[in-house]
Amino acid sequence: MDEGAMRDVGRLLAYEEIRQLAARYALAVDSRDLDGLCALFVDDVRVTRDTSGREALRASFADQLRPLGVTILNVGTHVIDLLDEDHATGHVYCKGEIQEGSRWIHQAILYRDVYERRGGRWYFVRRRHDLWYGADVGANPIGLPPANWPERSYGSGTVPSLWKTWQEFTDPEGNKAGENGEMP
């Protein structure tokens, strides 16, 4: 393979690896996999003016996610600008559904990202969360009777309670999940 084709393959691989960062971020947030979430960031990530590192990031995410119930992040448009072989920036559109107490909120989110490749792997250096809007939805799906898919296509399902990381985050004492995976 000639040198130009190798560069093209390397660029395509970089685009795909960076896209996977955004998808893995959404899954880790929704499943409350804080270890997996923090592993997507450089090890010396700056969290605040005075704190850095993955442990500080983990504590920050725990504080941000603790008041929320179910989240559903759906990644859409993702524009990536490769700056060189190891640095890139990106803009990611995301539609979010968020349970905040008894409220069910829709958000249109723009993430503004900085990426860096270290040791052959791409990471987030920084991820800024900006909103187009956040708005209440008329009906909150939490508390609906079980759907029991495929019996019914409406009602509550088994996600996110099927994830062990969700169970551990929402019930650190390890109480058993109730019917349909709901936490007591």
State the virtual CA torsion across 139, 140, 142, 148 in degrees, nearest 10.
30
Would you report the helix, strand and coil content of the chain in percent, each value rounded to 5? Answer: 30, 35, 35
Q: Measured in Å, how far apart are the chain's first and last C-alpha atoms?
A: 59
Residue-level pLDDT at 6:
67
| pLDDT band of 164, cuts 50, 70, 90 | very high
Residue-level pLDDT at 177:
46
| pLDDT band of 22, cuts 50, 70, 90 | very high
Distance of alpha carbon 53 from alpha carbon 72, whole angstroms: 26
> pLDDT per residue over 36-84, tens digit each?
999 999 999 999 999 999 999 999 999 999 999 999 999 999 999 999 9
User: Per-residue pLDDT for 180 more than 80?
Assistant: no
Residue-level pLDDT at 69:
94
The mean per-residue pLDDT over the stretch 81-91 comes to 96
Does residue 90 contact residue 17 with C-beta atoms inside 8 Å?
Answer: no
72 φ, ψ (degrees, to nearest 5): -135, 105
Which helix (H) or strand (E) element contains residue 165? helix 164-170
Residue-level pLDDT at 91:
98
Which of these, 73, 93, 89, lies nearest to 81 by C-alpha position? Answer: 89
Does residue 30 contact residue 103 with C-beta atoms inside 8 Å?
Answer: no
Residue with tokens 């007591």: 184
